[in-house]
Amino acid sequence: MNEMAREPEFNKFLHALAFNPLTGEASGQPYASAAYADLFVMEKINNEEFAIAAEASVVLNLWMYTIHKLREATGDCMSDSLNDIHAQTRALDEAVAFYVGLTGAKDTAEGDYSLYSVAQRAAKLTLQEASTNKMFINSANKIQQLIIYPSDTSDSKETCLSVRREVNNMVTQMTIPLLKKFITHFSMDDPKRLKLYALAFLPLIEGCNEVDFAELFADFFITDNDKNALEVMGKLQDAYECLGISCDDVGMSDTYPCVDKNQKTQIVGYEPSYDVRESLKIDLDTLQIKLYLENKAINDDAYEVVKDLYMFGRNSKRGDGTYEKIHHLATSKHRARYPYFENYTVYFRNTFKEWFTEYAEDQLDEKAEHYAEAIIMRALNKEEEFENASNRQVTRMVHKTVQFMIMHMYILEKLYSAVEYCQQPDIELGVQTWDEIWAFYVGSIEGSVISGKHLQGQSMYTLSNKRCERFSACDGKGINSKINDQLLTIFKSTRDQFANNACDIIETTIQNEIEPRLLATSIQGALTYAIKNENLGTLETTGDISAGYLYGMSTLPLVEKANANSASVIEKNLNFWLPDSPDPDGAKAVFDAYRNALNLMNVDCELIGSESIDGFGDLCRSYDTDAINPGNDADGDTDADGDIDGVTDGDADSNTDIDTDTDVDGATDGDDEDHDGDTDGDANVDTDGVTDGDVDDGENVDADGVTDFDTDGDEDSEIGEGDSTVLADGLFVTSTNVLDRAMIARDVKEMFDAIRAGDTEAAKDVYRNGKYSEMVSEDGTLTGNFRSLKKLSLNALTKMQGDPAFNIFRYGLSEGKSIDAFMERPIEQYADTFIEKAFGEMEEKDTLPAEAVVVLNIWMYTVHKLYNAVQQCKDSEDSTNSIISIDEAAAFYIGSLQKTGNPDSGYMLYNFAEDTGEHFGQDGTGQVWANTKILKLLNKAKSELSYSKACSNKSDTASELLYIYDEILPQMTIPLMQNLVRYMYVDDKKRVALYALAVVPMIAGCDTGTFSYLKEALIENEYNRNSFEYILRALQNSYSCLKITCGDIGPYIQSLVPECSDQEILEPIAGYTPITDVREELKIDIDILQMRILMTYNATDAAKDLYMYGGNSKKHEDEFWTLQRLATSNKREEVPQYELYRSYFDDDENYADTTIMDVLDWKESSRFNKASLEQRTEAVVKTLQYQVMYMYTLRELYDAVHDCESTEPNRHAGMAEGWDRAVAFFVGSMEGKDAGGSLVNDGQLLYALAKERCYQFNTCNGPVDAYANTKIIDLMTAAKIDIEKSQCSMLGSKVEAIKPLLSIGMIQSVFLYAKKNSLLPTGSKDGDLASGDVLYTSIAPIIHEANRNAADIIKRNMDFQVNLKNSPIPDGPDEIFQAMTDTMSAMSVKQGLDCKDIGRGVSCATVSLLHSAASGMMHVSTIVLISLLGVVTLLAC
């Protein structure tokens, strides 16, 4: 080991094998030794596997020793003295000798006895030439020349660095055969050699991604589980870029396709204009520095390896072939471009003045400018205050300095450099620099997807995500920080300003938007460690002290500028001085200090966190001294363990590990954030009593009683001991023990009791902190931490971001706009917002807050658990988690106090339904109908999951569970609606507000017009009893779309409010009276509206479920019409036009389905794979509206004709059904029954499109309808006589007349989007780009048939990919207008289109043009005047 102790590759293997990357502790893995190669070889010899032992000697021992000799040949690049040329050349010769061996290029039949022959054989296995050997020899010759004949213009250090770079290239080439062999033996299922090459190659991946390495190593050395080949290959390919390997190097495979990242691969949602792949990889230096630092425990020379990497770099190549170096970032003179850099220099010159006593006065500023490097080198050398620092503390000190302090300042330097380039002006260099900044901020490990690889990176981006949950500052997905989401938006929009030379705007954005967000992350770090360290004693070895010091130091120069007193307090409490205890004044002092400085630091406190932080209050509000007194609750009572959270943790050392955020490794942050083995003396046990290293427990419970992050998205604790829970005297018996969940009913009861007793504060305490629903650990023991009713709402966004019901509520409260607040708080916390407001405004003994807890928090959480069961069944063949979720839903719905059919017990939703049912005459059978149905459905779900392999890929259990979910949801809505009607009638305004909030947002997902009226009447304004009849009628009109009936609601108290009447079976559809019952088919438009909602909030899985399985439009008792069925129906072949479409889309029978599924599955082949979320939403929704529904409407029309012509009695009788379905699929439910449809034009189908366009194209027939729609409805109505008399030819004629009219709105839309999109900038993320593409594609086959040249012109301009990369509509809208004009006459002949239906000229301009035409200046058959976006355009046709 001593000989190779300073070799980077050896240290990579040493760390990978000796440490568990998920804990930072000794791994206990096989071959966890510096002598790993010897252990493996001797194992094979002892097993008499001599051939493998010989091969292992080559690829393990010789491979590493050859690299060692190559490193020797490099010389000492840190030294200013000349290297020993003789020693260098001898080392090079030895390296070549070890590589080639005696046999040279000869193959041996027995095995691989040299690295050269290993490379030869690996090349043959992949049908390639052995380029590795050729490149190795060429590089060796080049190194020899560099050593013996250095350039006259280069010094010894430059020569040394050139040799080093060449050696690094050779190491990369030597790695390729190992990878090829690994893949080959993996594919051949050769376990013996596979294990050898896994050991030879996999440890190198840890330096690219710790988590991927841990999972791969476990797959091949720890577990015997079957390996998912695609997942394995995916992880390998993710590491190629990091290792300097390309897909071509490895060889292409049909089995495992490989695509190299291109130069514009997205960086967590940001698509760079320039190739910044190398800049991204600076985070690999950071990661590898951390790994080498941790090696100090087993390698005394580890710090020298760290220094080498810090000084010279290894991963991020510059354009000239040299490496970007952390040292360069830390000492760059251009940092002075940052306006406040001088504040840093002055601060550190004064703070570190004792460090610089050996330097002359004129040198002090330069040394102070290198403050970060000074910290690193003094820590590595253990000088002065770092003399007694533990290895863990040095690791954290150096790693955090690199990861945050250096990168923070370098990013600031680059930001102001970009401004300089803009001002020069050098726009290209400005944009390139802007791209590089985002690359440095995010790093390579996070990947391309917007959410990144959660907490796996080494960048500032990752640090911000790491902090967001503690500070209630995460985005809607609960994955990214709001800061990161905001910065992504800011960076994308600001980049466009370079093209406008808007340098002042760029600089202002940096100062007011970017700088504060970067600084906020540092402040979050400082506050985190102020809390974690305040209970530590003197001479502690925890690395948390280092982390607190670094985060504090990163902010102090600006804090001092704002408030010198605050800076003194922070410096005193976060200083690194082991003889004193950290945080001598306590975390409160640090919080107060930052709070007092923030305003003058230009940092909005909301950026740091808008909620109380671990009991220390909200930085935006005054300090709550009770909440933060260590060892005391808010009421002054001392906790059993003296923690700050008011909960006894039960850990042996009485010190709460407050931060249990999941780290890079899946372990918890509270003990070992950087996996340096630092467990704060508590054996990695968090407040939940569960060991951190177990990444699968999913239940790391915080000191607040709420799980921070778990792998299945479930915030609850482990299921307790025992087999089941009996709820309500056997009303429902669960399959698992969920009593702890059911016990939350006692919290609700206590809230009611406390309020009735006049003790509001006690009710608040139970609501906020929980009391009876104690969480259970993995081993079934109680943890002392309690589930809180408040957190069911506060954590809703994290837990329910993919849930349909929750997202419909979000959409309703924001009305689909960018409104993100409800009563000035996040919309997603609407329930908690209402309840806390109710507490603040409550009259004496008014139980409104307790009622709201049931109908808002518990209602939505129960729905979440039901949907969770669906997702878990889809995600895993093991049905256990789905069973648990169903049981949990039952526990939350019924509770632990319920007696069957007894409205005086229970306190939960079951009891709520029973109590409400009494007022609506539904208690005659001992249990209200809604409860009876819900329990029946819950038992049905249990039954579905009880079968062996219930959730296997071959079963339909997931879809059955989704159907059950869709059936339960309306039943749970019934008592909410009943109470809204009840309290409207008795004029209880507070409860009207509550039940309106519980009901009305759901209507946004099925009837937007009715919803808008109800929201204004009941949510945005106080209820007015005088409007009772109007509001009641609007609510009753929504019953059908909510999938409830008038009978479900019933009459209120003996018909004080009579039972309403449901929609008539043959109620008109926009003026057309159907012959058959198509009320369910009409609701297909609700599916499309909800697809839009779910896509808007990136709930792609839920959108996919809705697309594939439906949810609103019932076909049969237990089956829905589904949009995918319409998109893929074989019966579309009845439409003559279908063949035209199929041919146009490269013989893709399901062309629309392909587009939709490619977007939903994020397929690389999708033409929308680089689209923004808004564009992806429009692509899916408009494909549904105008491709799927257009063709399927035609299918029903032609099917009716074919039914008419059929001699089969049953089919002949079905023609009326097909005809009515065509109307339903053309119009939809939201248009209503009156001619002209909805007055607010909230429809979702082709009927609505024609109405929307008629205002823009002067084709309206009256105030609300389009001429095309009027003609279609008239033809549909007239055809009923043909159906009645079986006049099939006349029916067919009407279909041919209807067909061109259906496409009018789509043709008009091509004109519209051509004009609108021509005004958008290059790279725009506007949804109109996707809309234009889809609308054109919807009619492209028709245009292509009529005029191919015109079709090509239009496609070139409307194509999304073209418009995304170039200025949209590159040829200009006039070219499209002309192309469409050229096509019209042919389309008129082939499709029966009438130009007047597309646009009608009525102005003086038309008369003038007609006069010109008559004079022979222009030949036209019709002149159409179109007004688009205020621009008059002329279409001749």
Residue 665: predicted pLDDT: 33
Q: What is the mean pLDDT of residues 26-34?
A: 67
Residue 423 clears pLDDT 80, i.e. is over it: yes
The percent of residues in the chain predicted with pLDDT above 70, rounded, is 83
Q: How far apart (Å, rounded) are the C-alpha atoms in residues 601 and 608? A: 13
Residue 638: predicted pLDDT: 27
Q: How far is residue 30 from each of residues 515, 537, 953, measured CA to CA in Å?
A: 47, 38, 35
Residue 818: predicted pLDDT: 53
Residue 101: predicted pLDDT: 85
Residue 611 clears pLDDT 50, i.e. is over it: yes
* CB crowding 1053-1068: b at 16 or more within 10 Å, else e: eeeebebbebbeeebe
Collapsing DSSP to helix, strand or coil, 1 comes out as coil
Residue 1208: predicted pLDDT: 84
| Residue 40 φ/ψ, nearest 5 degrees | -70, -45
Q: CA torsion angle for 901, 905, 906, 908 (degrees, to 10)?
A: 90
Residues 6+ apart with CB under 8 A from 672: 23, 24, 663, 678, 679, 684, 692
Residue 221: predicted pLDDT: 77
Residue 659: predicted pLDDT: 34
- CA angle (1049, 1055, 1059) in 5-degree steps: 35
Q: Are strands 1431-1436 and 1423-1428 parallel, antiparallel or unpaired?
A: antiparallel
pLDDT level of residue 167 (50, 70, 90 thresholds): very high
**The three-state (H, E, C) secondary structure of 1095-1132, written as one string:** HHCCCHHHHHHHHHHCCCCEEECCEECCHHHHHHCHHH
Q: What is the mean pLDDT of residues 849-863?
A: 96
Residue 707 clears pLDDT 70, i.e. is over it: no
Determine the residue type at 133: N
Q: Which residue has the tokens 């007055």?
A: 1239
Residue 360 clears pLDDT 50, i.e. is over it: yes
Residue 155: predicted pLDDT: 65
More confident: 600 or 293: 293
Per the CB < 8 A criterion, the answer to whether 981 and 1049 are in contact is yes
| Residue 719 φ/ψ, nearest 5 degrees | -70, 135
Q: What is the mean pLDDT of residues 464-473?
A: 85
Task: Name, of 581-595, 631-645, 871-885, the range with top average pLDDT.
Answer: 871-885
Task: Name, of 676-680, 1069-1073, 1408-1412, the range with top average pLDDT.
Answer: 1069-1073
Q: What is the mean pLDDT of residues 314-336?
A: 89
Residue 23 clears pLDDT 90, i.e. is over it: no
Q: How far apart (Å, rounded) are the C-alpha atoms in residues 268 and 468? A: 17
Q: CA torsion angle for 1223, 1225, 1228, 1233 (degrees, to 10)?
A: 10
Query: Which of the 8 DSSP states describes residue 1040?
Result: T
| Whole-model pTM over 0.75 | no
pLDDT level of residue 455 (50, 70, 90 thresholds): low
| Residue 782 φ/ψ, nearest 5 degrees | -70, 145
Residue 922: predicted pLDDT: 80
Q: What is the mean pLDDT of residues 52-78?
A: 89
Report how far apart the first and last C-alpha atoms of the chain are (Å, whole number): 85
Q: Which residue has the tokens 């939703």?
A: 909
Q: How far apart (Å, rounded) are the C-alpha atoms in residues 1363 and 1376? A: 14
Residue 1404 clears pLDDT 80, i.e. is over it: no
Q: CA torsion angle for 122, 126, 128, 132 (degrees, to 10)?
A: -30
Residue 4: predicted pLDDT: 84
pLDDT level of residue 789 (50, 70, 90 thresholds): very high
Q: How far apart (Å, rounded) are the C-alpha atoms in residues 493 and 491? A: 6
Q: How far apart (Å, rounded) are the C-alpha atoms in residues 570 and 259? A: 50
Q: What is the mean pLDDT of residues 606-613?
A: 72
Residue 903: predicted pLDDT: 63
Residue 282: predicted pLDDT: 93
Segment 1220-1231, tens digit of pLDDT: 999 999 999 999
Q: How far is residue 1020 from each of residues 735, 851, 1097, 1234, measured CA to CA in Å?
A: 44, 21, 23, 29
| Residue 207 φ/ψ, nearest 5 degrees | -75, 0
Segment 1340-1355, tens digit of pLDDT: 999 999 899 999 999 9
Supply the DSSP string of 1268-1310, one letter for each residue. HHHHHHHHHHHHHHHHHHT-HHHHHHHHHHHHHHHTHHHHHHH
Determine the residue type at 578: L
Q: What tokens appear for 1094 in the block?
A: 């779910």
pLDDT level of residue 631 (50, 70, 90 thresholds): very low
Per the CB < 8 A criterion, the answer to whether 198 and 59 are in contact is no
Residue 501 clears pLDDT 90, i.e. is over it: no
Q: What is the mean pLDDT of residues 991-1013?
A: 94
Per the CB < 8 A criterion, the answer to whether 1185 and 1179 are in contact is no
Q: How far is residue 184 from each of residues 194, 482, 1080, measured CA to CA in Å?
A: 8, 44, 55
Q: How far apart (Å, rounded) are the C-alpha atoms in residues 70 and 677? A: 33
Residue 468 clears pLDDT 80, i.e. is over it: yes
Per the CB < 8 A criterion, the answer to whether 608 and 585 are in contact is no
Q: How far apart (Å, rounded) are the C-alpha atoms in residues 7 and 10? A: 5
Residue 924: predicted pLDDT: 60
Residue 1373: predicted pLDDT: 92
> Which run of H or of E encompasses 822?
strand 821-822
Q: Is the peptide bond before 1058 cis (omega within 30 degrees of 0)?
A: no
Residue 290: predicted pLDDT: 92
Average pLDDT of the chain to the nearest whole number: 82
* CB crowding 467-485: b at 16 or more within 10 Å, else e: bbbbbbbbbbbbbbbbbbb
Residue 709 clears pLDDT 70, i.e. is over it: no
Q: What is the mean pLDDT of residues 90-97?
A: 91
Residue 677 clears pLDDT 60, i.e. is over it: no
Supply the DSSP string of 914-953, one letter for each residue. HHHHHHTT--TTSS-HHHHHHHHHHHHHHHHHTSTTTTST
More confident: 61 or 20: 61
Helices 131-148 + 115-125 axis angle, to 10:
140
Residue 684 clears pLDDT 50, i.e. is over it: no
Residue 80: predicted pLDDT: 61
Residue 1426 clears pLDDT 80, i.e. is over it: no
**The three-state (H, E, C) secondary structure of 1135-1168, written as one string:** CHHHHHHHHHCCCCCCHHHHHHHHHHCCCCCCCC
Residue 153 clears pLDDT 60, i.e. is over it: no
Segment 734-772, tens digit of pLDDT: 999 999 999 999 999 999 999 999 999 999 999 999 999
pLDDT level of residue 1362 (50, 70, 90 thresholds): confident
Least confident of 213-227, 985-999, 1087-1101, 1231-1245: 213-227
Q: What tokens appear for 1227 in the block?
A: 């119009």
Segment 260-315, tens digit of pLDDT: 766 667 888 888 999 999 999 999 999 999 999 988 888 888 899 999 999 999 98
Q: How far apart (Å, rounded) are the C-alpha atoms in residues 973 and 979? A: 10
Segment 932-947, tens digit of pLDDT: 999 999 999 998 998 8
Residues 6+ apart with CB under 8 A from 1108: 959, 1122, 1124
Q: What is the mean pLDDT of residues 880-899?
A: 93
pLDDT level of residue 1060 (50, 70, 90 thresholds): confident
Residue 1141: predicted pLDDT: 95
pLDDT level of residue 968 (50, 70, 90 thresholds): very high
Residue 394: name the closest of 543, 615, 553, 226 by CA: 543
User: How many other CB atoms are found less than 10 A from the CB of residue 952?
Assistant: 14
Residue 1434: predicted pLDDT: 38
More confident: 665 or 542: 542
Q: How far apart (Å, rounded) are the C-alpha atoms in residues 64 and 1232? A: 76
Collapsing DSSP to helix, strand or coil, 361 comes out as helix
CA atoms within 13 A on the CB side of 520: 31
* CB crowding 512-523: b at 16 or more within 10 Å, else e: ebbbbbbbbbbb
